[in-house]
Structure 1
Amino acid sequence: MGGRPVVVVGAGLGGLSAAMRLAGAGRDVIVVEARDVPGGCCGTANLGPYRFDTGPSVLTMPGVLAETFAAAGEEMDRWLPLRRLDPSYRLTYHDGSHLDVVPGEEAMAEQVRALCGAAEAARYVRFRRVLGEMFDVEWPAFIDRDMTRLRSLVHPYALARIAALGGFRSLDGLVRRHLTDDRLVKAHTFQALYVGLSPKRALGIYAVVAHMDTVGGVYFPLEGGMHAIPRAMAAVAEKAGAVIRYGVRATKIETDASGVAAVRLDTGERIATREVVVACDLHRAHAGLLPPGAGDWRLRRPRFSPSCLVMHFGLDRPLTGQAHHTLHFGKEWDSTFTALAAGRPQPDPSLLVTYPESDADAAPTGHTTLTVLEPTPNLTNGTRRDRLTSRLEERLLHRLADLGYDGLAGSPRFTVDPPAWERLGHTAGTPFALDHRLTQTAWFRPAARARRVPGLHFAGMHTAPGVGVPPVLISGRLAAERILGNPR
């Protein structure tokens, strides 16, 4: 240790990932976080005796998280024990049928066989193996890799193999090439919303997202909900020597002829440094925090993902037979994505219902919590929001009642809508950042290093690999490796 510290701006998952690796490698690290708790998007909120996760509810690829803890010299299981959800999802359809996404190829094939028949189950098994092959090609070449240089894209074999597997078709086209039952197609294409696009606009390469959760599995902390993840990461970073300063905002990154020189704080302090990792909302950072030389042509015409309306409920009873994650598909499909793309509320939205019954400390004994997410347009189209949220809330309550969730209208609740996401620091009122169209993917996504400002690095969902817990963790690792001088 010694010398000038590395300053990390933001204690979200990307910033904490970088801090853990840097501190684990012996570097002095100062993390500056404007909020009073770690987590960023992976946040928490209380309503009376109820506690809610306000960010991601789906954790896949736990090995990426375990590697982050190992880089700081710790075993993840000691700090953050996880369990695999079974089922990962319950998918319910408008015709009354449902499909449980369960661990194991044979068990999952049996679920498909019971719903769709033996022929479709055989097609599913073949498709599942295609997904595995696509993942094995894409992960090392384009996801788990530093994309700060254009030559990072030059992998002739990987590109040829992905093309042969259908990765450059639309996601919808790729899946329909292998599966024929619309219900099973929806089970493997709804993940397009994770990357901010409809299944007909998302590239087939994003079928790897379906592989991550339907094959790799979905996990959940044994205690403390999803917010336990950043709390454990922050504790390990501090144990490794990082200093985390909460309630302090970075206001300006100063430069000199050599590059980064210091970070100014809203306390009036000036931290001299040669290396900074900016792990907060990138567009807001460009509004004043970053020096002029940090401009990136990729941000000239940003395209943002849709947003969401999230309602959190405190329940005075448990729900019988409810899965941790239930996705209720609406009858409409293509028209819902068309509406989102046009900046209109979906006419018949699919809903993600999260019921973390195993999070025992989230509610008093005999009580539970419920969270419902409906995709909505972001704020870029200028739609008036003064009455829209109340109309969507009322519609959502009626829809939930029709689905069998009785009594929610009288339960304690609060709502997070696009204006609220914007107040929380998310540009365009979306917690999903930029969408993942081809021109905002891999090297075409905003650069993770400022070419004209040596020492200035970026992490988080605005940079490559992109949105989601594993990609954000990887972005922090890549920033740390560039600083340490050993990028993969």
Structure 2
Amino acid sequence: MALREKNAARVAVVGAGPGGLAAAMLLAAEGYRVEVYEKRDTVGGRSGLLQLGAYRFDRGATFLMMPHLLEELFTAAGRSLENYVTLLRLDPLYSLHFGETVFKPSTDGHQTEEEIERLFPGNGKGYRQFMADEEDKFERVMPLLQRPFQSPRDYVKKDVLRALPKLHATDTVYNRLSKYFADERLRYAFTFQAKYLGMSPWECPGTFTILSYLEHRYGLYHPIGGINKVLQAMSEVIAEHGESVHTSCGVKQILVQNGRANGLLLENGEKVEADYIVLGADFGTAMTELFEPGLLKRYTPQKIDRKRYSCSTAMLYLGVNGAVDLSHHSVHFAEDYRRNVEDITRRGVLSADASIYVHNPSVLDPTLAPAGKSALYVLMPVPNLTADIDWAQEGARIQEEMMNRLQRLPGLADLPQRVEESLFFSPLDWQNQLDVYNGATFNLAHNLGQMMYLRPHNTFQEIEGIWLVGGGTHPGSGLPTIFESAKISVRLLKAHDETVRSRAVRAGFTGKGVSL
């Protein structure tokens, strides 16, 4: 348990998602008095545990990369990740299905190059060049993801100037990959990761080619029990430091007095006093629902509506009798992939032929389903709720289409007869059940107007005493960057607190009063 000063500052954390839990864990280890408030009965937010009968699923995130960042997070909290979670390295990374062609890349560069030459002759050299170029790019870009951008002056610092020639921010992910690969399918194999940001590779800034590089360079991992186990472990560490995570305890409003946050009003009517607030709730929902109407000027409901949001996802969670002969991760591309992507991101319609992602963790992890059975997770990217789609009307049809698509995969023709548990989750469910604004599963989009300084800042600009964490602040969405947002915001909060306390000490000699 952390040693805590008698007058340690009180921090209230809104939301037990990945960002909120990471920040709370770090603050608890530093001796702050920390209370986390979570509306749902489990931790993890949109990345938490979903249980259907005897089957267990990760509700959202299933890709875990760069585990060394997670290990650093636990080390900073005085703990070792391996004491809480067992990680399995995936090889191959995933299987990518283009009709009859199946590409299974690996972190073994020579093996992947040979596979590329076998399936897409003449493209191996491009792969080698891509990996070399991206290694240099990532080394330059990573520092920008580990510090705040809170002033235009942050753009003229040395790390930005060094990274600028490699940022490719005015280019697109698809255009960048076209410089390396001639085969369209191979381009898709290295650009589909733009979907992690909820964006089209034809629109996503070229900076984010590093996503596919990171997978190929550092690999992908599966925590036994699912990614939700990592988040549960964070909750355990918070408790071990003597602090609390309150589930089934939603926040109704952030209390503000004289331009400064001083506590929370809970949904049960209780008021909680706090010196500082860490806001880990979904950004759009928090701005429109957690502050007194009319209080915010920069983030009015009208301005929040005008921001760009990621796509959404239609989800199908299936408890299946028997084994499923699919890789741990598999992506099944639409025949006309570009049209499918533009349906989602530009036209706002449901594609007649859609891509799907299937997570089949039971092929490696026996803890998620009864013996001999499988917990199958199916994701179809779809437009968010700004599109004119009536999900109350369309949900049943899309669920049937997803099942039909699965039945066309080898060995799954009899899938409906094998399903023991089933849950369909639409963009409307993301919004209504998990408070995801516009059902935008991947939060704010990552277009140029919403990156770095132009993304909501880690130190909240409108109200003093609030720090943001999660996908709606810098550096962005995706677990590694969400964890970095927590590290950044905790550093900023600590620096502020130390300044306040230093002033208080000085004021003690002069008789002046200083408040947190």
Query: What's the TM-score once normalised by structure 1's chain length?
Result: 0.94
* Aligned AA (2:130): F
Q: 1:98 aligns with which of 97, 102, 109?
A: 102
Alignment of 1:261-410 (within 5 A): 261-290=262-291, 293-296=295-298, 299=304, 301-320=306-325, 322-340=326-344, 341-357=346-362, 358-404=364-410, 405-410=412-417
One-letter amino acid of the counterpart of residue 113, structure 2? A
Q: Structure 1 residue 112 and structure 2 residue 119: aligned?
A: no
Change in Cα spacing, 1:284 to 1:469, as seen in structure 2 (3 Å) is: same
Q: Partners of 1:366 and 1:235 in 2: how far apart?
A: 31
Rounded Cα–Cα distance in structure 2 between residues aligned with 1:76 and 1:336:
39
Q: 1:463 aligns with which of 464, 470, 473?
A: 473
8 A Cα contact 2:260 2:463, kept in partner:
yes
- The residue matched to 2:317 in structure 1 has which SS? strand
Q: Which has the larger displacement, 383-392 or 184-193?
A: 383-392
CA distance in 2, matches of 1:429, 1:90: 28
Note if 1:128 corresponds to 2:131: yes
Distance in 2, matches of 1:124 and 1:130, equals 10
Is the aligned partner of 1:254 residue 2:255? Answer: yes
| Cα distance in 2 between the residues matched to 1:249 and 1:417 | 23
Secondary structure of 1:361 counterpart: coil
- Equivalent residue for 1:79? 84
Asked whether the equivalents of residues 177 and 190 of structure 2 are also in contact (C-alpha less than 8 Å), the reply is yes
Aligned to 2:513: none
From 206, 213, 216, give the equivalent of 2:215. Answer: 213
Q: CA deviation at 1:294?
A: 4.5
* Residue 434 of structure 1 pairs with residue 440 of structure 2: no
Q: CA deviation at 1:387?
A: 2.6
AA matched with 1:420: D
Q: Residue type matched to 1:121 in 2?
A: G
Q: Which has the higher contact order (CA 8 A, sep 6+)?
A: 1
Does 291-300 or 413-422 show the bigger shift? 291-300
Runs of 5+ in structure 2 lacking a partner?
498-516
Contact (CA 8 Å) 1:20, 1:71: kept in 2 or not?
A: no
1:167 offset after TM fit, Å? Answer: 4.5
Q: Is the 8 A contact 2:334 2:353 kept in 1?
A: yes
The answer to whether the 8 Å contact 1:350/1:374 transfers is yes
- The structure that has the greater radius of gyration is 2
Q: Does 1:232 align with 2:238?
A: no
Cα separation, 1, equivalents of 2:159 and 2:149: 17
Deviations 1:137-158 (A, max 9, x none): 11112x1221222222334664
1:360 partner SS: coil
Find the aligned partners of 1:485 and 1:306 in 2 and give their Cα distance.
36
Cα separation, 1, equivalents of 2:442 and 2:168: 26
Deviation at 1:486, TM superposition (A): 8.1
Q: Can you list the C-alpha shifts for 1:268-326, whole angstroms capped at 9, x where unaligned?
A: 32222221001011222223423555543573611111111111111111124x21001
Partner of 1:171: 173
Q: Which amino acid in 1 is paired with 2:391?
A: R
CA distance in 2, matches of 1:71, 1:160: 28
> For residue 447 of structure 1, what is the aligned residue in structure 2?
457
What's the counterpart of residue 149 of structure 1? Answer: 151
2:154 maps to amino acid: S
**2:83 maps to amino acid:** R
* Structure 1 segments unaligned to the other structure (5+ residues): none
Alpha-carbon contact 1:61-1:470 (below 8 Å) kept: yes
Corresponding pairs, count: 482
Quickly say closer, same or farther: Cα 1:382–1:355, change in 2 above 3 A. Answer: same
Q: Which of residues 467, 473, 494 in structure 2 aligns to 1:484?
A: 494
**Distance in structure 1 (CA, Å) of the matches to 2:120 and 2:406:** 26
CA RMSD, Structure 1 to Structure 2 (Å): 1.9
